[in-house]
């Protein structure tokens, strides 16, 4: 898949509206497959802080709820939004629940993990995607949103 295709793939938000990665951010998107009942769920705090700190410079964090790993995101769209806002003050966009691996993977994730790339290993894997659809970096679940390497990559993407 070309980078232009990646950047223009339709993404349903949890409120039912359709958009694209290009439509969500001025300069870059941090795309994260999220889950409400995961050991990494506390990363929502740092994801929100990153979104708040850098959104004025063109970054948008996008959470993609996924129930593929241990059934850790069983809720409805409304339950997920309520959980995220009540417990973590999340203001960044949340997509509709989607699969990230396998034959039913969302087309964005199929593109991100196609052509020999490793499949998503767990919740809270992060892809930093520039406005022109280029994957600048990929971060494992254990890499927190406030880690020096992730923050440095965001800074670089926003230059």
> pLDDT (tens digit, 9 = 90+) per residue, 23-53?
998 899 999 999 999 999 999 999 999 999 9
* CATH code of residue 14: 3.40.30.10
How much is the average pLDDT of 115-144?
Answer: 94
Catalytic, out of 38, 90, 108, 128: 38
Residues 63-115 pLDDT 10s: 999 999 999 999 999 999 999 999 999 999 999 999 999 999 999 999 999 88
- The pLDDT, as a whole number, for residue 2 is 45
H-helix or E-strand spanning residue 86: helix 77-88
Q: How many whole angstroms separate alpha carbon 6 and alpha carbon 25? A: 14
- Cα dist from 90 to 76, 123, 133, 137, whole Å: 16, 17, 24, 23
- The pLDDT, as a whole number, for residue 132 is 87
- The pLDDT, as a whole number, for residue 5 is 66
> Can you give the pTM of this predicted structure?
0.95
Domain with 129, as residue range(s), is: 3-157
Number of domains the chain is built from: 1
Is residue 38 part of the annotated active site? The answer reads yes
Q: How many whole angstroms separate alpha carbon 75 and alpha carbon 71? A: 10
């Amino acid at each position: 898949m070309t980078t232009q295709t990646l950047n223009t793939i339709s993404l349903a938000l949890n409120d039912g509206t359709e958009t694209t990665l290009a439509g969500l951010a001025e300069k870059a998107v941090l795309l994260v497959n999220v889950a409400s009942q995961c050991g990494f769920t506390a990363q929502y705090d740092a994801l929100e802080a990153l979104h708040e700190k850098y959104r004025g410079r063109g970054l948008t964090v996008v959470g993609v709820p996924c129930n593929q790993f241990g059934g850790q995101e069983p809720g409805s769209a409304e339950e997920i939004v309520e959980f995220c806002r009540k417990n973590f003050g999340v203001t960044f966009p949340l997509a509709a629940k989607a699969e990230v691996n396998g034959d039913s993977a969302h087309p964005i994730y199929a593109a991100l993990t196609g052509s020999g790339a490793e499949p998503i290993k767990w919740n809270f894997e992060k892809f930093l995607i520039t406005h022109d659809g280029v994957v600048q970096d990929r971060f494992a679940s254990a890499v927190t949103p406030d880690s020096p390497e992730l923050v440095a990559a965001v800074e670089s993407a926003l230059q």
